Amino acid sequence: MADIVNLRQFRKTKARSEKESQAEQNRLTFGRTKNEKTLTKALNDKAERTLDQKKLDKPEDGA
């Protein structure tokens, strides 16, 4: 026979765990210092510039 479960407590526990997982995701997404953000932006910009420098220009056949 199955155990008796209080649905109210089950719902509250489930809501708490969902809130905690959302909070963890927000900490990963938004929980960075200004220095970390600027460093990441600088590295991304440098990588983009390096990639753009290595592109080969193809002549257009407009003639």
- pLDDT tens readout for residues 44-56: 999 999 998 888 8
d(CA 60, CA 26): 47
Q: Give the list of residues 6+ apart from residue 32 with CB closer than 8 angstroms, or none.
A: 40
Per-residue confidence at 60, pLDDT binned at 50, 70, 90? confident
Model pTM score: 0.46
